[in-house]
């Protein structure tokens, strides 16, 4: 009999200080692109106690009030206490405006193939895209369930089901595997922060979290909770979180943004970057291809590696790994991917229209990706999640 192994992934709510920084960074990106879709923008954020720092470097015709954008995000997340809120926190900004360059101002959908071939990447990265058939979202089951649990934890606070919760929370889901297939839910850990240290009691909180958060999430999952499942709610006692108790920094939650460490990721942050950054949109393109490969039945799981070098139009290397689950050799899958997907910088922009998405979505677009993952999002209509190449891959 194959040995059982366990794998865990974590997620956090949008009120985690690191995730708050990511959301602010992407909200700034959204605002630049709404005003000027040709904007080049990089944003980094850090928060500690009652101080938020925003560093932004940009080439754009847009005029964006960085502090105002940040205050709107903080208010939306739900920080309204006396120690930290959108009105009284100090915000320091360091904008670096650079001259607009005409070569960056092009319409991707009008480009010919020759023109696409003349637009090169400006940074270097090795990145990964992944998909598997463990869940309806084609995501690894641990991170898929962790995101659902974190979102439910945030929802019960926003809907005043558990109004004593603060915006920050953490979850971890452990899944037991045999032969590479999930067999049972091994363990759950939920750390729910509350607004006041003595209200409610730890016993009350644990019962409320089980009833309002855990049970609803796992009521409809293929794998159910059972007597062997280890459930931990605030195992370290009462928690009071938020920026006044620990600092936050953008770009720190790469595993949560991607595949929960079940697959590799580049280590490069996805948030806080405009769509001409290949380390961001290349990851989206790689996920698109991997998801279509699995949906077409070519493999049970597929990891795609793309390597980009400065000055090159497309990837200098593409590798496919299906961990022995492929119906055909990995090399043949790689050939099919190259035939049906365009990984050139301008080709990705043309396929997904990434520069104009913020203007088409109320409340921004990239900001919504900055919490609960950039992939496997049934709540968002993401172009890189489309199964639009399945028929072509199946025919070949």
Higher-confidence position of 104 and 194: 194
- In 3D space, the residue among 388, 182, 179 whose CA is nearest the CA of residue 293 turns out to be 388
In this predicted structure, the answer to whether residue 32 has a pLDDT above a threshold of 70 is yes
Q: Do domains 4-11+140-240 and 116-134+278-395 have the same CATH topology?
A: yes
In this predicted structure, the answer to whether residue 38 has a pLDDT above a threshold of 70 is yes
For the domain 116-134+278-395, what is the CATH code? Answer: 3.30.300.10
- pTM score, whole prediction: 0.96
> SS in 3 state form for 321-335?
ECCCCCCCCHHHHHH
Per-position b or e across 168-206, b if 16+ CB within 10 A of its CB:
bbbbbbbbbbeeeebebbbbbbbbbbbeeeeeeeeeebb
Question: Mind giving me the DSSP string for 89-154?
Answer: SEEEEEEEE----GGG---GGG--HHHHTT---SS-EEEEEEEESSSTTSS-HHHHHHHHHHHHHH
Under the banding of pLDDT at 50, 70 and 90, the label for residue 1 is: low
Mean pLDDT on 311-333 = 97
Query: 254-268, pLDDT tens digit by residue?
Result: 999 999 999 999 989
Q: Quote the CA–CA distance of 24 and 28 in Å, as a whole number.
A: 6
User: Residues of the chain with pLDDT > 70: what percent?
Assistant: 99
pLDDT of residue 241: 81
CATH of 4-11+140-240, picked from 3.40.50.300, 3.30.300.10, 3.40.640.10, 3.90.199.10, is 3.30.300.10
Query: 108-123, pLDDT tens digit by residue?
Result: 888 999 999 999 999 9
Mean pLDDT on 361-385 = 96
Query: 155-178, pLDDT tens digit by residue?
Result: 999 999 999 999 999 999 999 999
Query: 48-86, pLDDT tens digit by residue?
Result: 988 999 999 999 999 999 999 999 999 999 998 878 899
For the ranges 8-17, 189-198, 238-247, 251-260, the lowest mean pLDDT is seen at: 238-247
User: Residues of the chain with pLDDT > 90: what percent?
Assistant: 88
Question: CA-CA distances (angstroms) from residue 359 to 59, 72, 184?
Answer: 18, 18, 43
- In 3D space, the residue among 304, 279, 285, 294 whose CA is nearest the CA of residue 121 turns out to be 279
Domain residue limits, the chain: 4-11+140-240, 116-134+278-395
């Amino acid at each position: 009999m194959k040995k059982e192994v366990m794998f865990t992934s974590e997620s956090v709510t949008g009120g985690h200080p690191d995730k708050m920084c990511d959301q602010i960074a992407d909200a700034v990106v959204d605002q630049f692109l709404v005003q000027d879709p040709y904007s080049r923008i990089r944003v980094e954020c850090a928060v500690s106690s009652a101080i938020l720092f925003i560093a932004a470097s940009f080439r754009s015709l847009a005029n964006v009030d960085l502090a105002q954008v940040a205050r709107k995000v903080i208010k939306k997340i739900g920080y309204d206490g006396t120690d930290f809120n959108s009105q009284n926190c100090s915000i320091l900004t360091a904008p670096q405006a650079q001259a607009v360059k005409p070569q960056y101002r092009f319409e991707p959908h009008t480009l010919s193939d020759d023109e696409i071939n003349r637009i090169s990447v400006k940074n270097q990265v090795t990145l990964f895209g992944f998909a598997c058939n463990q869940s309806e979202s084609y995501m690894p089951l641990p991170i898929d369930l962790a995101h659902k649990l974190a979102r439910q934890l945030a929802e019960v606070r926003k809907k005043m089901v558990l109004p004593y919760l603060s915006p920050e929370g953490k979850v971890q889901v452990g899944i037991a595997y045999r032969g590479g297939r999930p067999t049972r839910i091994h363990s759950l850990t939920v750390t729910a922060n509350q607004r006041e240290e003595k209200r409610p009691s730890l016993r009350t909180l644990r019962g409320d979290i089980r009833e309002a958060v855990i049970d609803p999430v796992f009521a409809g999952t293929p794998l159910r909770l059972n007597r062997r499942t280890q459930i931990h709610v605030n195992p370290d006692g009462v928690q009071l979180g938020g920026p006044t108790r620990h600092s936050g920094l953008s770009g720190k939650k790469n595993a949560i943004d991607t595949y929960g460490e079940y697959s590799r990721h580049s280590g490069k942050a996805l948030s806080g970057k405009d769509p001409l950054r290949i380390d961001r949109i290349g990851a989206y393109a790689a996920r698109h291809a991997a998801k279509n490969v699995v949906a077409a039945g070519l493999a049970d799981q597929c990891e795609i590696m793309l390597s980009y070098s400065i000055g090159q139009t497309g990837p200098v290397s593409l590798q496919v790994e299906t961990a022995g689950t492929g119906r055909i050799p990995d090399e043949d899958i790689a050939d099919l991917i190259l035939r049906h997907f365009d990984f050139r910088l301008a080709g990705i922009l043309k396929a997904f229209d990434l520069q104009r998405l913020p203007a088409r979505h109320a409340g921004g677009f990239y900001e919504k990706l900055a919490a609960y993952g950039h992939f496997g999002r049934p709540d968002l209509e993401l172009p890189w999640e489309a199964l639009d190449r399945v028929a072509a891959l199946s025919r070949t």
